[in-house]
Structure 1
């Protein structure tokens, strides 16, 4: 006679690895939210740092460099939009050191961007938003917040 075992579909708080059905579902929803947020942030970073191609030079600039042409207010608007990426990183659970590094990138970009002409050239070259999103993606991939886009390892061909 076979013994049937019932499976409890509720979240077991004693299970640290969340092997229960509800725990897996919650982890998958959290991961999907993080991935969707990261895609949205990557779009914003691309718009801010690399949306437009300068013909002849083949150099990409974004809205941050264009806004920087407006004295004072343009740089302030760029810093505010860049700060949204830092806010979302904090919301996704990034550690304080990473949030601080991202904030320093934004502050450095904003401080140098205030300088007329040289700041505009620096805005076109530094690309703080793309750096910040790359840092956030790398952190989330290493810590299991999202699935990695590149699998690290070495491939071996087996001829048989």
Structure 2
């Protein structure tokens, strides 16, 4: 899905993910569905929750940014969530379990910290927006 075709004259590889992502909504849903196959494969191999969450976050991030026309497709070419998830699964199967688990825990700590900051900023923004609307009331 991420690196099946090499662009001639470059080292850049693209796959079906950014190509089908060009079709609004349907393409993004199909790309995410295929990406979830690797997460399900991780479940079958009994990966820890931290690694499964990291894999899921890769798919979600690719889908969220991939929904932005043109920019999302360029992001998908660069980020390659399926390649990342396959690498996590292969590293786990090859015995690098401690490294994969540790890296996933660090990833989750950073991800949750950023999410909390964005969420708190969102709440503060809504608070001031509502306060502003109340001040406009007669």
- Shorter-chain TM band: 0.5 to 0.7
Aligned residues, how many?
97
Aligned pairs for 1:42-53 within 5 A: 48-53=1-6
Q: Distance in 1 between matches of 2:39 and 2:64?
A: 17
Deviations 1:3-33 (Å, cap 9, x if unpaired)?
xxxxxxxxxxxxxxxxxxxxxxxxxxxxxxx
Give per-residue Cα distances to partners, 1:111-155, cap 9 Å, x unaligned. Answer: 0000001001011111001101111111222268xxxxxxxxxxx
Could you tell me which runs of 5 or more consecutive residues in structure 1 were left unpaired when the two chains were aligned: 1-47, 145-160
Deviation >4 Å, runs of 4+:
none
CA distance in 2, matches of 1:72, 1:93: 31
State the SS of the aligned residue for 2:23: coil
1:139 corresponds to which of 85, 88, 92: 92
SS at match of 2:24: coil
Distance 2:96 2:26 in 1: 38
Structure 1 CA distance, aligned partners of 2:76 and 2:12?
Answer: 12
2:71 aligns with 118
Structure 1 or 2, whichever has the larger Rg, is 1
Matched with 1:54 is 7
Question: Where in structure 2 are there 5+ consecutive unaligned residues?
Answer: 98-138
**1:8-157 equivalences in 2 (<5 Å):** 48-142=1-95
Distance in 1 (CA, whole Å) between partners of 2:88 and 2:96 is 12
TM-score by length of 1: 0.58
Rounded to whole Å, the distance in 2 between the matches of 1:143 and 1:110 is 28
| Cα root mean square deviation, aligned | 1.4
Distance in 1 (alpha carbons) for counterparts of 2:93 and 2:50: 14
State the distance in 2 between where 1:140 and 1:115 align: 34
Offset at 1:92? 1.0
